[in-house]
């Protein structure tokens, strides 16, 4: 029988085991010249405006249909940079590992980080590994921080939003959250829903290069599109009317949401963006998005209005209206 190699506290000691782990697992899978220097910081030569972001990932389970914590850790931070109009370039990778985690699980996740970094054209240039004793963490948490150059000196900002602007979603909603929920064994469900987890630079960056009509972007992760649209309305001091009938959602996700009694407007996405755009270019932007597989279900789903100030209104399929608030409690903890 093959022995299972487990992570020991010594892997986080900073000593020999840490060194071997870094060399044999991390450097091997993530190799690039900057990381290879193994210095305390990566040094990057910049001449432009730089976006800087951080995100920790605590998703449970570690593996889910459509992805895993490694893929998510890269795409989540890549997307945060893209939302600012920055081309993602450099990521850090910090692991907090529970003692006793099987090393092959960790290696599988690092492979996934490496693949997603390659596909997203970013380099992991600095890192950190900590190991905590059994039960002091749940298997693995990952933090990635990221740097990217802004492609334009014109900043995307909530302040640029005006009444009449259109709201676009780049595709079907609620897939990430529902894939996690379905995967959690205690529910015994099998909806066969895949997470939408994806890096959005390939979809969004080319678009930013061909139009100046995009005023603001945000990825609707925790709290779903309802929460993100509330952030946009609060931050801009304007109202948003959301058309329920126009919100793209797959039949599977709709059925699963109804069965579980969950409102998909509040469920996390990990490969979607909300765009606020000038009305005259909205249709063209949707058409461009749809040419990319990651944007093939893009739709205009709402309009910015003067009132109600700072609120989001959902116009339902039955033509009634109701205020859509932010998520107030967490029906789905550890979704990302």
Which range, of 7-15, 207-215, 252-260, 302-310, touches its own copies by CB under 8 A?
Answer: 7-15
* Side-chain-side CA neighbours of residue 100 (13 Å): 9
Regarding 92 and contact with its own copies (CB under 8 A), the answer is: yes
Which range, of 11-19, 103-111, 163-171, 282-290, touches its own copies by CB under 8 A?
Answer: 11-19
Which range, of 109-117, 130-138, 190-198, 254-262, touches its own copies by CB under 8 A?
Answer: 130-138
Residue from 260, 273, 264, 282 nearest 75 by CA: 273
**Shortest Å distance, C-beta 188 to its own copies:** 20
Distance CA 283, CA 318 (A): 25
Binder to its own copies among 4, 5, 15, 309 (CB under 8 A)?
Answer: 15
Binder to its own copies among 118, 154, 155, 212 (CB under 8 A)?
Answer: 155
| Interacting positions 268-287 with its own copies (CB under 8 A) | 268
Count Cβ atoms within 10 A of the Cβ of residue 5 and give its class: 0-12 exposed, 13-18 middle, 19 or more buried: exposed
Regarding 64 and contact with its own copies (CB under 8 A), the answer is: no
Regarding 38 and contact with its own copies (CB under 8 A), the answer is: yes
Residues that contact its own copies, how many (by CB under 8 A) = 85
- Residue 253's contacts (CB-CB under 8 Å, 6 or more residues apart) are 172, 173, 174, 175, 178, 193, 264
Closer CB to its own copies, 111 or 326, in the complex: 326
Binder to its own copies among 26, 69, 83, 312 (CB under 8 A)?
Answer: 83
Which range, of 76-84, 241-249, 276-284, 291-299, touches its own copies by CB under 8 A?
Answer: 76-84
Q: By rule CB under 8 A, what string of x and - marks binding of each residue 216-255 to its own copies?
A: --xx-xxx---x---x---x--------------------
Distance CA 74, CA 123 (A): 10
**Shortest Å distance, C-beta 319 to its own copies:** 27
Please give, one letter per residue, the 3-state secondary structure of 284-303.
Answer: HHHHHHHCCHHHCCCEEEEE
Residue from 230, 238, 235, 247 nearest 324 by CA: 230
**Shortest Å distance, C-beta 93 to its own copies:** 7
> Residue 317 carries which DSSP code?
T
**Shortest Å distance, C-beta 56 to its own copies:** 5
CB 232 within 8 A of CB 169: no
Binder to its own copies among 190, 319, 320, 329 (CB under 8 A)?
Answer: 329
Closer CB to its own copies, 152 or 192, in the complex: 152
Closer CB to its own copies, 16 or 296, in the complex: 16
Regarding 185 and contact with its own copies (CB under 8 A), the answer is: no
Greatest Cα pair distance, the chain, in angstroms, is 68
First to last CA, the chain: 35
Regarding 36 and contact with its own copies (CB under 8 A), the answer is: no
Q: What are phi and psi of 123, to 5 degrees?
A: -110, 140
Regarding 26 and contact with its own copies (CB under 8 A), the answer is: no
Distance CA 39, CA 49 (A): 24
Which range, of 57-65, 206-214, 256-264, 290-298, touches its own copies by CB under 8 A?
Answer: 57-65
Closer CB to its own copies, 10 or 308, in the complex: 10
Distance CA 77, CA 245 (A): 31
Which range, of 45-53, 103-111, 188-196, 316-324, touches its own copies by CB under 8 A?
Answer: 45-53
Regarding 147 and contact with its own copies (CB under 8 A), the answer is: yes
For 120, the token pair is: 């997203």
Instruction: Give the bridge partners for 87, in sequence order.
Output: 149
Q: Does residue 96 sit in helix, strand or coil? A: strand
Q: What are phi and psi of 31, to 5 degrees?
A: -50, 135
């Amino acid at each position: 029988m093959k022995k299972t190699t487990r992570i020991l506290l010594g892997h986080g000691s900073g000593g020999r085991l840490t060194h071997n782990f870094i060399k044999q697992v991390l450097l091997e899978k993530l190799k690039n010249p900057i990381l290879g220097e193994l210095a305390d910081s990566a040094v990057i030569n910049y001449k432009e405006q730089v976006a800087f972001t951080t995100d920790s990932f605590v998703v449970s389970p570690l593996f889910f249909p459509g992805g895993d914590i490694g893929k998510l850790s890269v795409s989540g931070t890549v997307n945060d940079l893209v939302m600012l109009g920055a081309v993602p370039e450099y990521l850090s990778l910090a692991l907090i590992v529970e003692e006793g985690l099987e090393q092959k699980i960790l290696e599988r996740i690092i492979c996934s980080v490496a693949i997603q970094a390659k596909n997203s054209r970013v380099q992991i240039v600095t890192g950190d590994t900590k190991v905590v004793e059994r039960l002091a963490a749940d298997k693995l948490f990952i933090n990635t921080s990221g740097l990217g150059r802004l492609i334009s000196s014109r900043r995307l900002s909530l302040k640029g939003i005006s009444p009449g602007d259109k709201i676009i979603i780049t595709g079907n909603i609620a897939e990430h959250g529902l894939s996690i929920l379905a995967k959690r064994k205690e529910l015994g469900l099998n909806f066969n829903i895949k997470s939408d987890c994806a890096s959005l630079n390939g979809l969004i960056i080319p678009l930013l290069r061909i139009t100046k009509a995009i005023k603001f972007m945000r990825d609707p992760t925790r709290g779903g599109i309802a929460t993100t649209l509330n952030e946009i309305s609060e931050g801009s001091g304007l109202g948003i009317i959301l058309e329920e009938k126009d919100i793209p959602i797959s039949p599977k996700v709709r059925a699963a949401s109804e069965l579980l009694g969950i409102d998909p407007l509040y469920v996390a996405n990990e490969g979607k963006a909300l765009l606020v755009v000038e009305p005259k270019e909205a249709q063209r932007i949707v058409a461009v998005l749809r040419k990319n597989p990651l944007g093939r279900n893009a739709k205009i789903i709402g309009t910015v209005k003067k009132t109600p100030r700072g609120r989001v209104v959902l116009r339902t399929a039955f033509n009634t209206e109701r205020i859509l608030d932010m998520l107030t409690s967490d029906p789905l903890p550890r979704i990302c």
